[in-house]
Structure 1
Amino acid sequence: MKKPRTSVTKCMTLRLLYTSSLTGLLTDFIMAKPIYNSTNGLKEWNKENVKLHLQKDSKLLKHG
């Protein structure tokens, strides 16, 4: 007996959503790279990008 096509579609949709969310997290993490602070000569994290990355990460954990 063949499996219904809807289960294949659901599986592919979930896989696409999962992959796209991972890609988005990776992109955000790369954007949150350290920046050079000329005042004290140290590298600091771009705080705004890190905050956005953490917000998205926590939303995925809540829904997952």
Structure 2
Amino acid sequence: MSNQAGQWLVWIGIICAVVAFFWQPVWMSVIAIVLGMIGLFSGQKNLNWAAIIIGVIALIVYYI
């Protein structure tokens, strides 16, 4: 995967994860986690982990 594609995936994943706190928490969190996992194949590993972690936190907050 190219570096630019990885950057787009990570930023879309982070945006979805943040939106998950306010709207459609389950779907947006899952989308953020999946995009973060796909983005791990690019060079942006730290940001992808951030998207995954924020998505998981949004899921936990929703179910608590």
The two structures have a TM-score, normalised by structure 1, of 0.38
Q: Which has the higher contact order (CA 8 A, sep 6+)?
A: 2
Q: Which has the higher helix share?
A: 2
Question: Computing the radius of gyration over CA atoms, which structure comes out larger, 1 or 2?
Answer: 1
